[in-house]
Amino acid sequence: MLYNPEKAIFSNWGLRFFCLTLVFISICACSAPKRTITRVAGKNPELNICRVVLLPFVNESRSPQLSTQAYRIFFSEIVGSSLFRVEPEGDLQLFLYRNRIRPDTIWNRDLFVALAQQLEVDGVVIAYIRESNLVAGASGSRNAYVSLQVELHDARSGRLVLSSFLRRTGDDYTKVLHFGVVDTVSGLLQKMAKEIINEWREKGVSGCQ
């Protein structure tokens, strides 16, 4: 049988359609990533922060355990990034107990100064879980979404240094088909924490380095 170029692989319309679909999916998967909104407070903020403490996350979502979960994951990612040295969670809890600070306390300058003095920290991370729920993902599963606002304050003055806001769903990290999709809240929070820490590095926070 002679070779007929018209019947070659790429002249087959079905196969052409399949290839085009693959290319289309790949392009869709490589769409521009969502941005993290980070604002730097003032013209010359104090970016020379090495030792930080994370205050308990303020949970505005309906998932009661999410604040502890997000707190520990964010804590883990900061330690892993080596950007800051982090005061253990237990030390902060003791500070809150000793100073009779309730979870709903609005932090003023005096409290920041007491925290800086007693725990010997330079920075305070305050975070708010604005929203969290499950949404129908493109891949058919029910994906978690989380809205997170994280602020970095100078502990010595209480002044805001940086504030980042981002909202992500598990589908935001999909590569091709279902690959790359984040199906767990822990995994999603980990990726969000990494994004925020990278953003802070880009904004000039040098940490202990």
Partner 1 sequence: MRSFLVFLSSLLVFCGVACDCRALTVALLPFADISSDYNGVDLAATDTFHELLEIEGLTLIDGPVVRRFMAQYRLRRAGSLDSFTARKIGRELEADLVLIVTLCESGGVEKGRFGILVTALETVGGEVVWTSQQSSSLFEETALLGIGTPRDGSELKIRLMQTAARRTAQALPELELFAAAERGPFRLVDIEISPEYTQGLSTVECFLKIEALADMPEKVELSSEGGPIVLIPGKAAGEYHGSWTAPSKDGEYPVSLTLTSKTIAAPVHLQKFARYTVINKAPQLTIELKQGITLNEVAVFRDQLLITSSLQPSRPVSRWQFMVLLPDGTVQVKDEQDGDLPRDLLWRGCNSKRQRLQDGEYSLALTIWDAAGNQTRSEKKVSLRTECQPVEVKTVKKGDKNIVRLSTPEISLNGLGLTWKLHVYSPDGAPLLEQSGSMLPAEIELPAGIDVDFLLYSIDVQDLIGNTFSLAENRLYMPDSGLQVAGVEKWSEDF
> Which residues of this chain interact with partner 1, rule CB under 8 A?
64-65, 68-69, 72-73, 75-77, 79-80, 85-91, 93-94, 97-98, 117-118, 139, 141, 178, 181-187, 190
Shortest Å distance, C-beta 90 to partner 1: 3
Q: Which is nearer to partner 1, 45 or 200 (CB)?
A: 200
Report d(CA 16, CA 9) in Å as an integer.
Answer: 8
Report d(CA 130, CA 148) in Å as an integer.
Answer: 6
Shortest Å distance, C-beta 3 to partner 1: 33
- The DSSP output letter for 47 is -
Q: Which is nearer to partner 1, 16 or 142 (CB)?
A: 142
Positive or negative: CA dihedral 69, 71, 74, 75: negative
Residue 5's DSSP bridge partners are: none
Cβ neighbour number for residue 161 with a 10 Å cutoff: 21
Q: What share of the chain is helix, strand, coil (3-state, %, to 5)?
A: 40, 25, 35
Q: Which is nearer to partner 1, 11 or 184 (CB)?
A: 184
Q: Which is nearer to partner 1, 45 or 121 (CB)?
A: 121
- Specify the residue for token string 């279902």: 178
Q: Which is nearer to partner 1, 69 or 147 (CB)?
A: 69
Shortest Å distance, C-beta 36 to partner 1: 20
Shortest Å distance, C-beta 181 to partner 1: 7
- Specify the residue for token string 């521009």: 32
Read off the tokens for 54: 């994370």
Shortest Å distance, C-beta 152 to partner 1: 18
